[in-house]
Structure 1
Amino acid sequence: MAAAPSGPVGPNPPVIAVVGPTGSGKSDLAVHLALELDGEVINADAMQFYRGMDIGTAKISVAERRGVPHHLLDTMDVTEEASVSAFQADCRAAIRDIHSRGKRAILAGGSGLYVRAALDVLEFPGTDPAVRERLEREHAQAGLRPLQERLRSVDPVSADRLGDARRVIRALEVFELTGRPFSSFMPSREYFQPAVQIGLDVDRDVLRDRLAGRVHRMVDAGLLAEVARLDAAGLRRGKTASRALGYAQFLKVLDGESDTASAAEETIVATRQFARRQLTWFRADPRIHWLDWQDPDLVAKAAGICASPASVI
């Protein structure tokens, strides 16, 4: 297939983002677009930052990359905590590098906030380890409810939206440090630089079956052994990596609290729930150009959108 025009040239061509739910084929489409548009891919899946988390994250293999350079894959140990603000800086640096060499930067990933951080005008408040540690101690001693009630008194929007301890603690930390509610830092839909987003529109019933099959293939490929290796490398100490789909469930198998079949079923259920949340997140963004994930002309249509000045915002 002849390469499609790559759109505006110069130091700041539009950033391309391929988004959608897990299992929809984002990585594959990103590679095809990179081949069509002379681009390079930037990973925007938070769990694929981690070295060794390959089977359970369906990380694209070297062969599947087809010679296309991939950035921000395998950049962290499982003991490290992923940070949206650090990703924003690293991703924008990668975009500048790619564009400086006359290539197209193509993001691929389903971590919605990470995609927004890369593409949109978004400010990140600082952190204070002492404040974080005190709040985490309070949580360990008294549970989540008192922290949720405190958050509701200063930031009811975040209190309604956040349900897990990590995010509630972060919201309280931000309020203590800035005097502003955490919800005030949520991004508006304003691109940091010109961009075009391609969303993969899925048949939900087909996706449900596909996700189940994918989990079973992960188990057959050695997911339990991968989790065991990463456990020995400190997986449980990692606040981000240890919660990854599949890894949390199969740690229970290692502990004798579950069996492989039960862990696989729990992973399937959790993955389907995650896919629904991803679809809800991305459907709320009116700037995304949606394409049928199973369209035989998907690559050509996506390349055409990326090349059209009318598609760029």
Structure 2
Amino acid sequence: MTSPVLAVVGPTGSGKSAVGIALAQRLDGEVVNADALQFYRGMDIGTAKLREDERGGVPHHLLDTLEVTEEASVAAYQAQARGVIEEIRGRGRVPVLVGGSGLYVRAVLDELEFPPTDPAVRARLEAELGADGSQALRERLRAVDPVSAERIDDDRRLVRALEVFEASGRPFSAFMPQRIYHRPAVQLGLRVDRETLRARLADRVHAMVRAGLADEVRRLDGRGLRNGRTASRALGYGQFLQVLDGVLSEEAAVEDTIAAPRRFARRQLTWFRADPRVHWLDVDGPGPPERALDTVAQQVPLS
């Protein structure tokens, strides 16, 4: 039997990396990164990227694949990740997908068609956004794709939805993935008590600051961080760029950086809870890796 992809998902701070490594160690596996911000070289402290000596001897793939000035692409990631997974299977090992970037996880696991792009149309729409504001574009989107108009809450995706409609003649919402696995898969979701997660996230941010997050942001600023459409929006990095600019104090940046992951974690939970195929594990109980192994064994034969 072809080994399934094991996916470890859940909110930031829930311990996905540790569970993913434990699964890989026990099942002769290799980890495939599904955290979009860990693609970026140099974004180490603020993304909680594991150092080589923290990976338990387990090979990790698709870390440090982009410069901070480059924009992450779900379509490119899909091709890369699926290629890596086939290579892992070809070695007779088990692929373990680990990360909380929901759309990236689904791009690997599910049947997902990517809508076309048209840079000229996008440039025109971005100019119209600057001239007329988002409300005018939202009304236009509502007329052709009311589903997307209701879901989209930021200007970037608003422009993208209109670009897709003009380029394809199909609404952006028509390209949303179906819950049909591309290849056999088992998803394990890590669930953490809300107060425990809040404390973990606060502790994580303080640890990042002690480890040199401000210096990391300063170095990346010199490498073009501000010009990166994806990287510059990363939690913590935007806040500490404002510290460099004198807009925020370090104390205010820390508080904002603590609050932002809480909001992000709620969105992640909403995303993954909507998928009935996820097998949820309570992290607060004893031995999450052991219970993860038990769950996997119930779903697929492991020899």
Same structural fold, with TM-score higher than 0.5 when normalized by the shorter chain: yes
Residue 216 of structure 2 is matched in structure 1 by 226
In the alignment, which of 162, 169, 177 is matched to residue 167 of structure 2? 177
What is the rounded CA distance, in whole Å, between the counterparts of 2:84 and 2:196 in structure 1? 35
Q: Relative to 1, partners in 2 of residues 1:62 and 1:179: Cα closer, same or farther, differing over 3 Å?
A: same
Residue 311 of structure 1 deviates from its aligned partner by 8.9
TM-score (norm 2): 0.97
Give the drift of 1:155. Answer: 0.7
Match of 2:148 in 1: 158
> Does the CA contact (< 8 Å) of 1:132 and 1:169 recur in 2?
yes
Please say which of residues 142-151 and 246-255 is displaced more in the overlay.
142-151
CA distance in 1, matches of 2:45, 2:173: 35
Equivalent AA in structure 2 for residue 203 of structure 1: D
Q: Please, which moves more after superposition, 39-48 or 123-132?
A: 123-132
> Gaps spanning 5+ residues in structure 1: where?
1-7
CA distance in 1, matches of 2:299, 2:10: 23
Q: Which runs of 5+ in 2 are unaligned?
A: none
SS state of the match for residue 291, structure 1?
Answer: strand
Structure 1 residue 266 displacement after superposition: 0.8
Q: Would the aligned equivalents of 2:31 and 2:96 in 1 still touch at CA under 8 Å?
A: yes
Matched, 1:22 2:12: yes
Matched, 1:303 2:293: yes
Following the alignment from structure 1 to structure 2, what is the Cα–Cα distance between the partners of residues 29 and 293? Answer: 10
Q: Which amino acid aligns with 1:189?
A: R
Corresponding residue number in structure 2 for 1:3: none
Match of 1:196 in 2: 186
- 1:280 is matched with 270
In structure 2, the residue matched to 1:243 is: 233
Contact 1:305 1:311 in 2 (8 A): no
CA distance in 2, matches of 1:268, 1:155: 36
Question: In the TM superposition, what is the alpha-carbon distance from 1:304 to its structure 2 partner?
Answer: 2.3
SS of corresponding position for 2:216 = helix
AA paired with 1:62? Answer: E
Per the TM alignment, residue 296 of structure 1 is displaced from its structure 2 partner at its CA by 2.2
* Counterpart contact for 2:137–2:158, Cα < 8 Å: yes
Report what 1:290 is aligned to: 280
After the TM superposition, which of the residue ranges 296-305 and 227-236 deviates more from structure 2? 296-305
Identity of aligned residues (%): 64
Cα distance per residue 1:139-192 (max 9 Å; x no partner): 222222211111111111111111111111111111011111101111111100
1:76 aligned onto 2:66: yes
Instruction: Tell whether 2:84 aligns with 1:104.
Output: no
2:261 equivalent in structure 1: 271
Alpha-carbon shift at residue 119 of structure 1 (Å): 0.2
Q: Which amino acid aligns with 1:229?
A: R
AA in 2 matched with 1:102: G
Give how far 1:216 is off.
1.0
Deviation at 1:310, TM superposition (A): 5.6
The root-mean-square deviation of aligned C-alpha atoms, in Å, is 1.3
1:167 alignment partner, SS class: helix
